[in-house]
């Protein structure tokens, strides 16, 4: 009986050691899997009734040691999309198409109202609030999709 108890406690010790090293491994894996490009607050405003154009905004963070070049490929449920920069010319707001965005290593960038934004044209379907729409970019030449959340303006 004493022997059995010793064997049992040995196994419990081994099991708990295995568990703790497993836990450490999980933490390490989590650190490694941080995306080079992190996107938050990704949102698309549902087009207003009678309007065909709208915009998407997001916060982007370059977690890598290299610059990230970002180009836009397409946006789900819209027939056309472009990256725009807002400008003030002769006191008037205007927009200019931008081919690419470069985010320096460990820097952030924001698509925001009144700044750079993703301009969307001609919704191909009815979009509902909280619907997830895929926005496809090329991140350093490699296609990558991100979920944007559809929001109503009101």
Residue with smaller CB distance to Cu ion, 24 or 85: 85
| The one among 118, 119, 123, 127 contacting Cu ion by CB under 5 A | 119
Beta bridge partners of 86: 95
* Minimum distance of Cu ion from residue 86's CB (angstroms): 7
Residue with smaller CB distance to Cu ion, 39 or 95: 95
| The one among 72, 84, 120, 127 contacting Cu ion by CB under 5 A | 84
Written as six digits, the tokens of 29 are: 């894996």
Residue with smaller CB distance to Cu ion, 21 or 94: 94
Neighbours of 41 (CB within 10 A): 13
Compute φ and ψ for 95, nearest 5 degrees. -130, 150
Residue with smaller CB distance to Cu ion, 61 or 117: 117
Residues 8-27, interacting with Cu ion (CB under 5 A): none
Written as six digits, the tokens of 108 are: 């952030």
* Minimum distance of Cu ion from residue 142's CB (angstroms): 26
Residues 94-113, interacting with Cu ion (CB under 5 A): 95
Beta strands in the chain (DSSP E): 37-45, 53-62, 68-75, 78-89, 92-98, 101-103, 108-111, 117-123, 132-139, 142-151
- Distance CA(129)–CA(60), nearest Å, equals 22
Question: Is position 56 an interface residue for Cu ion (rule: CB under 5 A)?
Answer: no
Per CB under 5 A, residues contacting Cu ion are 84, 95, 119
């Amino acid at each position: 009986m004493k022997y059995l108890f010793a064997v049992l406690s040995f196994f419990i010790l081994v099991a708990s050691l295995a568990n703790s090293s497993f836990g450490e491994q999980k933490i390490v894996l989590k650190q490694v899997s941080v995306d080079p490009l992190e996107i938050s607050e990704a949102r698309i405003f549902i087009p207003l009734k009678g309007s065909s154009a709208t915009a998407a905004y997001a916060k982007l963070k370059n977690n890598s040691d290299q610059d990230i070049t970002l180009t836009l490929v397409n946006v789900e449920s819209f027939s056309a999309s472009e990256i725009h920069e807002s400008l003030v010319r002769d006191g008037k707001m205007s927009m200019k198409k931008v081919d690419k965005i470069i985010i320096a290593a460990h820097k952030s960038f924001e698509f925001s109202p009144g700044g750079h934004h993703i301009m969307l044209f001609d919704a191909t379907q009815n979009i509902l609030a909280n619907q997830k729409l895929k926005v496809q970019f090329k991140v350093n030449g490699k296609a990558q999709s991100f979920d944007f959340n559809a929001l109503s303006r009101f």
